[in-house]
Amino acid sequence: MSSEADLKTVGPGRLSSGSRFAQYADIAEWILLAALLVMFAARGFLPAWRTLNTDFPNYYLAASLHRRGIPLDRVYEWIWFQRQKDYLGIEQPLVGFVPNPPMGAMPILPLSLLSPLAAKRAWLVLNLGFLLLALGLLNRVTKLGWCRIALISLLCIAPLRANFLFGQYYVLVLLLICAAYYCSCLNHRLTSGLLLSAAASIKLFPALFLILFIWRRDWRSAAGLILGTAASAAVSIAVFGSEVHRIFLIEVLPRALRGELVGPYSLQWNSFTALWHHLFLFEPELNPSPLFNSPVLYAVAQAITGVGLLFGFLWATRDESAKAGKALEWSAFVVLLLLSSSMPASYHYCILIFTAVIAVNELLKPTDKRQVLAFLLLFTIACAPMPGRIGELLLPRLVGTLALYVLLLRNLASGKGSRIGTRWVAFAALVTVALAISNLRPLKNRAEDFRRRVSNASIGYSASNPVAMRSGVVFTEMMREKYAAMALQNNQVRALPFSDDVLSVGGCKHGPVGYFEDVTRQSSIMQLPLEPPNAIPEYVAEGEQPKVSPNGRWLAFVREEHGKTTVWMSETKSPSATRVIIHGAPRILDVNATSEGDLIAAVGSVRGAQLIIVRRSTGVVEPLTGIAGPARYPSISEDGKRLAFSRRISGSWQLVVRELVTGIEQQLTHTACNATLPSWEDAHTLLYATDCGRGLGLTALARVHLQN
């Protein structure tokens, strides 16, 4: 396929135009195509047109925040992102930007001038155009004709439906892959690499095409991919700033590569990473009964899978003279990308349309058409909708995709001999050992906080903001429909009477009254006693992040005013009589009040946050010297002698307690995950939120006792 002129299309039904069977086959194709189009319109496009749905609001919200001049360095904090969603009045219960790269907001940036639903409708229209352009490019590089290309594409009905319903980017990624392949066929290899870099800027996995280009010594395509990626990164940093990119690279990307995102143990992901999590890694709430609780088995299985998939491709394509194998090589490599993904959702499989059309066109060339039927059957299985329970038991997407991959590799390796050389085996074994060791490193001390978990606390996706009060522990919980305020009393959890999102909590061990951040188009501080159970919340003031001093005397909170952050404080006996403590600068991230009424705050950028103390009586700001950063989430003990906080170490937030007089520190967590939002339950016990063994930022509650 060296030029476009060599790829003349053949209209539907003309492969055997003289036979009656071919005519019936043509009619059947058109009927099936019409049925699939109706199904896609009725169950995909029209519902998507009427409703907002995740995931489009995530992209839209990030783009809207940037357009309003709000820095995006906190965009990966679930609670902060939810608060911004509520302020903008976006009608979507839950939002989260994890694990998208900052550039993921770029395609929606022009549409953020519209209302959320209008922006999604514009995006849907664009997606229809992207899909038609992708099919047009496939029509140019194959001899299948429009009807069969459209028919094969619509067999991918579940991924297409999900992409349109959720407003995802995978039809755009499909278009860019098709365009890159088309340019490669025309020998425009630099452009091919540039197009793949554009796809990699919004969804990272197309960057792995660099492996294929290096393996094939296609240096111009590799150069295009590298240069394009560098240019995209430069544009993204220029537009969104360097801070959010540092957070993404240091904190988000490592967890994403390990599959520690939403539901890491759920077999509905149909990935090897989720399967090995489910079989070999224990987690008290999410995976209490693995087949074997063995991080070593997990690390080895993960390494063998990755090496086996990649080396299978390299071995099958080892003949450098096989120029005619480009179509199947690209087809197989796209499947490899899906199989290597840690958490591929159904909409990821839109890119499998490229593989299906290109591969079917190639497999039709031999006289044996049974392979085509087998391929289409496996493609249909990989893309078909499956009920949740069946999907978990049979893993149809994973099994179907793996079978597709094996079929393609078998055709690529045809005629090359089946003998595997000693050097191949030795190198594969060496890489497997190296990967297994690398996989084990972040699992060190993995179970450290499992025995610390607060039992019966979490009933939703994520429990956070734990605060000990006189009659129990209050916290926030991410539920399906909102963030709820919860109370753990007598080992039982109950929801507190708030109808809106509750995103933070304040209280103390000596007080019967809790303070809750109730969020609609603004944040309001509400007070509510835990007893009696039928108490009604009362309005206190406008503000965020209420914090109560350990002795229960002082209430501090944050307020956003004209793009600037102010911190206010009042006495709890008269909470409406507030006074401003910090006005405008520096940037305030987290606050806590001491028993003397002073304020301790984390200030500055998210990447380099530092702790300060503000004297209530004088307003003087003093740095807390000797505390290495970055440091966040300060919490002072009742006697004022110990300060608990979180420090970022090697990309993870670790829990630390510091003796303020002596400067002696005690690090309480040591795992490659996050321990945040500590609060004192008593003089020797801390409550905190931990995402260890869970998805990034999707925390559970834990309790740790300090050493005397």
Cis peptide bond prior to 99, omega within 30° of 0: yes
One-letter amino acid identity for 374?
A: A
Distance CA(149)–CA(103), nearest Å, equals: 31
C-alpha pair distances (Å), 82 with each of 87, 117, 562, 689: 9, 18, 19, 18
Of 135-144, 486-495, 685-694, the least confident: 486-495
Residues 6+ apart with CB under 8 A from 239: 66, 106
- β-pair partners for 287: 283
pLDDT tens, 590-644?
A: 999 999 989 999 998 888 899 999 887 777 888 888 898 799 999 999 888 999 9
pLDDT of residue 369: 81
Per-chain mean pLDDT for the chain: 90
Q: Which two tokens stand for residue 431?
A: 């890489």
Contact (Cβ atoms closer than 8 angstroms) between residue 286 and residue 453: no
pLDDT digits (tens, 9 = 90+) for 227-268: 999 999 999 999 999 999 999 999 999 999 999 988 899 988
| 706, 686 contact by CB (below 8 A) | yes
What's the CA angle centered on 336, arms 334 and 341, to 5 degrees?
100
- Nearest-angstrom CA–CA distance, 84 and 62: 9
Res 293: pLDDT: 94
Please state, in angstroms and as integers, the Cα–Cα distance from residue 293 to each residue in 280, 354, 446, 645, following that order.
Answer: 5, 39, 12, 31
Residue 389 CA to residue 391 CA, distance in Å, equals 5
Identify any residues that bridge with 666 across adjacent strands, giving them in sequence order: 657
The pLDDT of 643-647, averaged and rounded, is 96
What's the confidence (pLDDT) of residue 115? Answer: 94
- Longest C-alpha distance within the chain, in Å? 96
How far apart, in Å, do the first and last CA atoms of the chain sit?
Answer: 74
How is residue 514 annotated by DSSP? E
Q: What is the pLDDT of residues 407-462, one digit of tens each?
A: 999 998 886 666 777 888 889 999 999 999 999 999 998 889 899 999 776 678 99
pLDDT of 583 reads 72
pLDDT by residue (tens digit) across 30-86? 888 999 999 999 999 999 999 988 889 999 999 999 999 999 999 999 999 999 999
Position 26 confidence tier, pLDDT thresholds 50, 70, 90: confident
**Exposed, middle or buried: residue 579 (CB in 10 Å: 0-12, 13-18, 19+)?**
exposed
Half-sphere exposure of 59 (CA within 13 A, CB side): 26
Residue 6 has pLDDT above 50, yes or no: no
pLDDT digits (tens, 9 = 90+) for 494-543: 999 999 999 999 999 888 899 999 999 999 999 999 888 888 999 999 99
Residue with tokens 């179509």: 327
The pLDDT score that the predictor gives to residue 321 is 52
- Match 């690209």 to its residue by tokens: 330
Checking if the pLDDT of 563 tops 90, the result is no
Mean pLDDT throughout 555-580? 82
Q: Radius of gyration (Cα) for the chain, nearest Å? A: 28
The span from the CA of 613 to the CA of 619, in Å, is: 10
CA distance 431 to 426: 9
Domain ranges of the chain: 1-255+342-365, 262-270+280-321+328-341+372-382+391-443, 450-705
Q: Using CA of residue 601, residue 605, residue 610, residue 616, what is the dihedral sign? A: negative
Report the CATH number of the 450-705 domain. 2.120.10.30
Cβ atoms of 143 and 10 closer than 8 Å: yes
For 356-395, how does the pLDDT look when each residue is reduced to its tens digit (9 = 90+)? 999 999 988 876 788 899 999 999 999 988 776 776 777 8
In this predicted model, what pLDDT tens digit does every residue of 95-146 receive, in sequence order? 999 999 999 999 999 999 999 999 999 999 999 999 999 999 999 999 998 9
Among 261, 264, 265, residue whose Cα is nearest residue 289:
265
Helix axes 146-154 and 116-141, enclosed angle (nearest 10): 130
The alpha-helical segments, DSSP class H, found in 74-204 are 78-88, 116-141, 146-154, 157-166, 170-185, 189-202
CB 547 within 8 A of CB 518: no
From 336, 326, 333, 335, select the one nearest 361 (Cα to Cα): 326
Q: Among 323, 334, 350, which Cα is nearest to 404's?
A: 334
pLDDT for 7 equals 39
